[in-house]
Amino acid sequence: MSMTTKPVNQKAWFLILPVLICVAFSAIVPLMTVVNYSVQDIISPERRVFVGTEWFVAVMRDEELHAALLRQLTFSLSVLAVELPLGILLALSMPADGWKASVVLVIVSLSLLIPWNVVGTIWQIFGRSDIGLLGATLQWLGIDYSYTGNAAHAWLTVLVMDVWHWTPLVALLGYAGLRSIPDAYYQAARIDGASKFAVFRYIQLPKMRGVLMIGVLLRFMDSFMIYTEPFVLTGGGPGNATTFLSQFLTQKAVGQFDLGPAAAFSLIYFLIILLLCFILYNWMQRVGTQEKEGGQ
Amino acid sequence: MSKPKFQKRTIFLFAYIVFALVPIYWMVNMSFKTNQEIVASFSLFPQHFTWDNYHTILTDPSWYSGYINSLIYVSMNMVITLTVSLPAAYAFSRYSFLGDKHVFFWLLTNRMTPPAVFLLPFFQLYTTVGLMDTHLAVALAHLLFSVPLAVWILEGFMSGIPREIDETAYIDGYTFPRFFLTIFLPLIKAGVGVAAFFCFMFSWVELLLARTLTSVNAKPIVATMTRTVSASGMDWATLAAAGVLTIVPGAIVIWFVRNYIAKGFAMGRV
Amino acid sequence: MARITLDLAHAYRPNPQQDSDYALLPLKMEFADGGAYALLGPSGCGKTTMLNIMSGLLVPSTGTVLFDGRDVTRATPQERNIAQVFQFPVIYDTMTVAENLAFPLRNRKVPQAQIDKRVGEIAEMLEMSGQLNQRAANLAADAKQKISLGRGLVRPDVSAVLFDEPLTVIDPHLKWQLRRKLKQIHRELKLTLIYVTHDQVEALTFAEQVVVMTRGRAVQVGSADALFERPSHTFVGNFIGSPGMNFLQAKVSDGALLVADLRLPLLRALPDGELKLGVRPEYVRLAQPQDTGALPCLVTKLQDVGTHVMLTATVLGQAVKAKLATDAALPAIGDIAWLQVLGTHTCFYKNEEIVA
Amino acid sequence: MQLSLEGISKKVGPQAWLYEMSLAPKPGAVTVLLGATQAGKTSLMRIMAGLDVPTQGRVRVDGVDVVGQPVRERNVAMVYQQFINYPSLKVRDNIASPLKLSGEKNIEQRVTELARKLHIEMFLDRYPAELSGGQQQRVALARALAKAAPLMLLDEPLVNLDYKLREELREELGALFAAGDSTVIYATTEPGEALLLGGYTAVLDAGELLQYGPTAEVFHRPQSLRVARAFSDPPMNLAAGRIVPGGVQLNAGPLLALALPASPLAQPEVTAGLRASALHLQANPGDVALDGQVELAEISGSDTFVHVATAIGEVVAQLTGVHYFELGTPLTLYLDPAQVYVFDAAGALLLAPQYRGLRSAGGLS
């Protein structure tokens, strides 16, 4: 309405200065260190040699890394394949308002508020065939289930755990999207004699599109960084079945403590994420403007 | 609005809620059992109901200090985040200035950085500045994730407030700080609540950094737990109790922001 | 098409006590088949409530809604086969204009050939034939609203089309064209059209019969000139016309009309006691001193409104406005002007209701 | 207080929102900024308020250049078209806020007094959100008036209200302005509103200041076609024609007998303008007839606006009272050539109906 665009005001920089300082302290400095490491060979704190891109080359060639990357991709994609539809369905079935809505909201969001390692612990307990309900039930059903012994089982358990943990995020995003649809749309649809499916297909889905896309990218990236849950549950095993990038990296960095490659790898990892993040950001700019144009 | 499908939907919803709660219930259930019972018998309800596990945790310093530590650095993180984010968010929502888009994007990237990447450098950095094993260290490290988020959410809420209100205030003769505190802040209460909620959420649940940057004095509960695990002779019961106790604060916080949480998720796009 | 009969009341809160609890006070009303009606009133007067009750989005707390004598009080919009156009354009973003227009027919499994024909006609009527294959989402607000109108009109068999302030989002200079469209459409399709608005121009232009509403009451149902010439309630007198009717305290006793301490002759038979004399500024004339029916008023304001002059005067603290021709010989501010308030157009009100 | 804008202009990025203009609104009077949306009213007002700085030019208050001076140091009051109040403050505190800041005493009394003036005394302890649109705007007005600033800016303050409320509030505003002695700038898109407010009018169109002067005069003697178009509701009927001996020959239309200035024009092409109110249904001696077909009759109650398709194009006639016309029926309108405006090919005014101002015949008592 107001034809006044944001006024240009360079003084605004002073307002964001605090943020810059904080984040710089906890982001830029460390990043520099990483870069610094990635191009040196640290034999001992005193003796370091400049090695240029050597580590990068090495890391790129590292078979284990390729394997980990592959595992990561498969996992992230599966996560999306399950959580997106499930989330939408959940969003659609959540009550719109009243105390019911509050209660459901709280229950649904609960899993997001559980420390990630506790999530691991919960499933660790839940899945054990001797003391866990899930494990025991499966045993009782005659499935020789063991997330510690069987790679497939381990992988599946991690997946289910992630679904349990993160589907609410997608659901809440979709839910928010749904709530933003004006009633007139539903009324119009009723008057046009639209079927429930038509309402979903032509009103709800299009209106949710923006937030859902964001949900997709968020889930993809977060699952790309998954560390704690599998670490607690399976410790990356059996074998490397559930060793994803983050854990692979920490093993390198902390475990074997060969800093150079670790740093180099960190940077590569970081760049991958950065790329994804870039896509996400532009997406939201696009969606944002669309919403403004299509705004009522 | 959807009468016929209503049934199907509730059934699904119910099913999901079961799926969501059963694992938690199982842990709760376990936390009231004794280790012997856990290992020996398999039951849906504690046969010999006991508070012992909670008692151990709440009396044994090595346990409860963990909670205190976590709560300390989480609150520190929340306070710092909000104080720095509010002005920044205002700047982003009200003015355009050189490189605003880029700065915003750069902030975002931090939210997306895998903690693992910063593990080492943090370790080094905080050792050199002597913050190792302090609450402040963790709080600062977590700024990396909470600040971008907070700025983002607050910016969303602030943009919902017509700029004319600011102008009217300036015309009326308000100074910026006075306007910001007495007029503007009350208008974005909800936003602040949601932002605080997400700070809490990310700081409370994060393990990797919290564990790496602490050893004894600031050791967070999450770390305490993992170490208990790795220490052999699984003390399932206590572990379960500890887990339950970590869920409680979260549950409480949610209850307070429940009405804004959906909105917050959409705005901050988390 | 259908004849709509209302005999109902509605309150959003349970067991309403006094009038203010009602969104719609008990009313009886009939909308003839194929007529063009407008519900006119200030915001919060209950007009939208009435509309939603007719469309079936809302069930009245008491009473019935009849379509051609058939009780549909609890029937859904689909069952009533009603169409409604909302204040803000509602379009299906992912569809083209044509698909949008076809949507209501598709849902009712109308054969494709018929759909295409009908959509073609409506598009023609709305002058949108050119844009049929564009994506509706990328159109301007008024084009979008035209689509909503089209979706409302596309079904040949609708029992009525209801409009809820459909021109709110349209640019003023485009409005009259859409008004014209609506009138043409009504003439060509002979549908029952019911139009909710707070804008008198829209209501009076569009409708054959206008229902003027205030505080949940329908105070008058009538044609434009009836509302202008013989407002049956002081509210209508004030609400219709700008500026609204002048009202003066009056009293009838022993065969004379007392206005502002002057004895005026009785033009028509009037009940004794306190009255209000109502006369529109358009009908107030400058008169010679002592003319019968003229009052001596103190001129307080003269406004050149371009097309005419607005004279504001007071008599015993009561304001009188008069619309006078620009070339009339005008009194100056501060003068006493004699203003003719009695005439064939003068109305009389007893506790707000017209008596003569 | 004398506000004067000297050669100001406003560019945002490439496109110009305001072209160079100078304006010195009459101190202590109401100046109406009249123009369609996007004409630049708001931009101009924001510069006057000090919310924006002009790309070029000076803004002087009593001779002092105030460009760049922060808003809170300017002594102005502003009312927006959206109902802007402090949602977190009670109505009472909303009105009081400027007083508190300027350290007034007996605030309480001033507030109640203002509230009474604007008929919101019963809402003093409510929050703005609990009030109707009209009441909210009254609160905003009260807050603006509380400052008693020498410069008061109102940006289409009534546009978002029902028309009856608009009438009421406009009436009251007129009185309030007359009572106070501050310079009032009032932006509107409605010519009718400008006329009712009287005072002075500055006509804006597409970022240009076209004409400034006493409202009635600007209305009756528009210097150019653009002004005439902007300051006419319904839009002035325009028809192309040529100057011929004895008057103006409308293309495909009648000859208008007019006494035009003798000086022969470079191009004989002219545009004839006729206000809707100058067309009527009964012929007076000397009238010219226009035959056409009714397109639509818009009824406002007091008036009926008939859109008629004629040989000279579509014209709108304003008839007093309620009249019904069937769409498509033939209709003959009559016009008095003396009521015609004539503009040359460049759009400058050649001839306007004579205007004497209001003829006061002296007291009739």
Q: CA D310, CA B34: separation in Å to the nearest integer?
A: 98
Mean pLDDT within D147-161: 91
Q: Which residues pair with D243 in a beta bridge?
A: D248
Is there a domain that residue B240 lies in? yes
> Best interface-test mutation with A: which of D10, D11, D12 has the largest number of A CBs within 10 A?
D12
How close, in Å, is residue A176 to chain C by CA atoms?
A: 19
The kind and range of the H/E element at B80 are helix B61-94
Nearest Cα residue to D52 out of D35, D34, D74, D37: D74
The kind and range of the H/E element at B226 are helix B221-230
The 10s digit of each residue's pLDDT in C110-121 is 999 999 999 999
Chain C residue with CA closest to A195: the answer is C107
Count of CB atoms situated within 10 Å of the CB of A256 = 10
Instruction: Copy the structure tokens of residue C183.
Output: 């009138």
**Inter-chain CB proximity A2 and D12 less than 8 Å:** no
Per-residue pLDDT band at B266 (split at 50, 70, 90): low
pTM of the model: 0.84
Is there a domain that residue B7 lies in? no
Q: Does D46 touch chain A (CB under 8 A)?
A: yes
Count of CB atoms situated within 10 Å of the CB of B53 = 24
| pLDDT value at residue D316 | 93
| pLDDT value at residue D263 | 66
Q: What share of chain C is helix, strand, coil (3-state, %, to 5)?
A: 30, 35, 40
| pLDDT value at residue B202 | 82
List, in order of start, the domains of chain C with CATH numbers. Answer: 4-238 (3.40.50.300), 242-354 (2.40.50.140)
Range of the domain at B245: 61-266
Query: Domain extents for chain A?
Result: 63-248
Q: What percent of chain D clears pLDDT 90, i.e. is strictly above it?
A: 61
The 10s digit of each residue's pLDDT in C205-255 is 889 999 999 989 999 999 999 999 999 999 999 999 889 999 999 999 888
Lowest mean pLDDT, pick from B111-125, C307-321, D113-127, D203-217: B111-125
Q: What percent of chain C clears pLDDT 90, i.e. is strictly above it?
A: 52
**Inter-chain CB proximity D133 and C43 less than 8 Å:** yes
Enumerate residues 6+ apart whose C-beta is below 8 A from C293: C264, C265, C287, C340, C341, C342, C343
Enumerate residues 6+ apart whose C-beta is below 8 A from D259: D247
Mean pLDDT within D335-358: 88
Cis preceding-peptide flag for C166 (omega within 30 of 0): no
Q: Does A4 touch chain D (CB under 8 A)?
A: yes
The 10s digit of each residue's pLDDT in B6-42 is 578 889 999 999 999 988 888 888 888 888 787 777 7
**Inter-chain CB proximity D301 and C224 less than 8 Å:** yes
CATH of the domain at B109: 1.10.3720.10
Q: Is the pLDDT of residue B1 over 70?
A: no
Return contacts of D93-96, CB within 8 angstroms, 24+ apart: D94/D128, D94/D139, D94/D142, D94/D143, D95/D124, D95/D139, D95/D142, D95/D143, D95/D146, D96/D146
Contact residues on chain A for C119, CB-CB shorter than 8 A: none
Mean pLDDT within D340-353: 91
Q: What is the dihedral of CA B168, B170, B174, B176, to 10 degrees?
A: 120
Mean pLDDT within C70-94: 90
Is there a domain that residue B10 lies in? no
| pLDDT value at residue D363 | 37
Give the distance from CA A207 to its chain's centroid.
23
Radius of gyration of chain C (CA): 25
Cα distances from A91 to residues A175, B178, C53, C164, in angstroms, run 5, 41, 30, 31
Nearest Cα residue to C339 out of C348, C327, C347, C330: C330
Q: Is the pLDDT of residue D97 over 60?
A: yes
Chains that touch B (3 or more CB pairs under 8 A): A, D
Nearest Cα residue to B151 out of B90, B78, B75: B90
Q: Does D239 touch chain B (CB under 8 A)?
A: no
Enumerate residues 6+ apart whose C-beta is below 8 A from B188: B154, B157, B158, B161
Instruction: Copy the structure tokens of residue A267.
Output: 């940077």
> Best interface-test mutation with A: which of B1, B28, B117 has the largest number of A CBs within 10 A?
B117
Q: CA A170, CA A160: separation in Å to the nearest integer?
A: 15
Per-residue pLDDT band at B263 (split at 50, 70, 90): low
Instruction: Find the CB nearest B80 among A22, A116, A228.
Output: A22
Is there a domain that residue B51 lies in? no
Q: Is the pLDDT of residue C306 over 60?
A: yes
Q: Which residues pair with C248 in a beta bridge?
A: C277
Chain C residue with CA closest to D303: the answer is C241
Tell me the torsion sign for CA atoms D220, D223, D228, D232.
Answer: negative
- What would the CATH number be for the domain defined by A63-248? 1.10.3720.10
Cα distances from D102 to residues B164, D97, D151, in angstroms, run 21, 9, 16
Mean pLDDT within C302-330: 89
Chains that touch C (3 or more CB pairs under 8 A): A, D
Per-residue pLDDT band at C40 (split at 50, 70, 90): very high
What is D143-200 written as a DSSP string? HHHHTT-SEEEEESTTTTS-HHHHHHHHHHHHHHHHHS-SEEEEEES-HHHHHHH-SE
Per-residue pLDDT band at B230 (split at 50, 70, 90): very low
pLDDT tens string, chain A, 296 residues long: the values are 334 467 778 888 888 898 888 888 777 887 888 888 888 777 666 777 777 777 788 777 878 888 888 888 899 889 999 999 999 999 999 888 778 888 888 888 888 888 888 888 888 888 888 788 888 888 888 888 888 888 888 888 899 999 999 999 899 888 888 888 888 899 899 888 888 899 999 999 888 887 787 788 778 888 888 887 888 788 777 777 788 888 887 777 666 667 777 788 888 888 887 787 777 667 766 765 555 444 33
Mean pLDDT within D113-120: 90
Instruction: Find the CB nearest A5 among D12, D38, D82.
Output: D12
Nearest Cα residue to A11 out of B154, B97, B174: B97
| pLDDT value at residue D365 | 34
> Best interface-test mutation with D: which of A1, A3, A6, A9 has the largest number of D CBs within 10 A?
A3
| pLDDT value at residue A294 | 41
| pLDDT value at residue B227 | 60
Our count of domains for chain B comes to 1
The 10s digit of each residue's pLDDT in D277-288 is 999 999 988 899
The 10s digit of each residue's pLDDT in B68-103 is 898 899 999 999 999 999 999 999 999 888 888 888
| pLDDT value at residue B270 | 36
Q: CA D173, CA D169: separation in Å to the nearest integer?
A: 6
Contact residues on chain A for C108, CB-CB shorter than 8 A: 193
Enumerate residues 6+ apart whose C-beta is below 8 A from B55: none
Enumerate residues 6+ apart whose C-beta is below 8 A from C153: C83, C122, C125, C161, C185, C189, C191
Q: Is the pLDDT of residue D309 over 90?
A: yes
| pLDDT value at residue A256 | 63
Enumerate residues 6+ apart whose C-beta is below 8 A from B127: none
Q: CA D158, CA D140: separation in Å to the nearest integer?
A: 12
C286 and C340 in contact (C-beta within 8 Å)?
Answer: yes
Cis preceding-peptide flag for C243 (omega within 30 of 0): yes
Q: Which residues pair with B163 in a beta bridge?
A: none
ipTM associated with this complex: 0.82
Q: CA B254, CA A113: separation in Å to the nearest integer?
A: 8
The 10s digit of each residue's pLDDT in C242-291 is 899 999 999 998 888 999 888 888 888 888 899 999 999 999 999 998 88
Chain D residue with CA closest to B173: the answer is D72
